[in-house]
Amino acid sequence: MVYLTRSEHFNAAHRLFNPGWSYEKNEEVFGKCANENWHGHNYELLVTVKGNPDPDTGFLFDVKKLSLIIRQHIIERMDHHNLNLDVDFMKDKMCSTENLAMGIWEQLAPHLPAGVQLHCVKLYETPRIYVEYFGR
């Protein structure tokens, strides 16, 4: 079993805001992240797949194809967008890094071929804050 990781990045706006709570409660829990006019990040996304290398190519998966899948299903929908307003799979969800990583997993998993398993979605919100999701 080998693990293969591709790194991509996107820049986006978001806010943390629970519509079921009052303005004051949101401020209390999310602080300046709740700013009604949004703020933003340079997100770094690391997608790790696992499997056995093909004996003919030596590849677990053509990393160019992995890059294209991530770009088509994630980057094009998120880059330079507002994650709360523009991204359909985040509708009605809190736009935390945790939920983004889980949402990204759900978008990517169906597009990987047989024999290539998604292992980890690692998402950096800032250089010092990141989450990992292993699909369970």
Partner 1 sequence: MAKQVSVFRREHFNAAHRLFNPEWDESTNEKVFGKCALPNYHGHNYELEVKVTGKPDKKTGYVMDLKELSDLIKREVHTRFDHKNLNLDTEEFKNLNPTAENIAIVIYKLLRPHIDKKMDFQIRLFETPRNFVEYPAG
Residues 6+ apart with CB under 8 A from 20: none
With binding defined as CB under 8 A, does residue 7 bind partner 1? no
With binding defined as CB under 8 A, does residue 82 bind partner 1? yes
| Cβ closest to partner 1, residue 5 vs residue 126 | 126
Q: Are 33 and 25 in contact (CB under 8 A)?
A: no
The span from the CA of 11 to the CA of 42, in Å, is 4
Nearest Cα neighbor of 10 from 90, 70, 59 is: 70
Catalytic residue among 9, 39, 80, 106: 80
With binding defined as CB under 8 A, does residue 127 bind partner 1? yes
Q: Residue 42 Cβ, how far from partner 1 at the closest point, in Å? A: 5
Q: What residues line the site for partner 1 (CB under 8 A)?
A: 9, 11-14, 32-33, 35, 37-42, 79-82, 85-86, 126-127
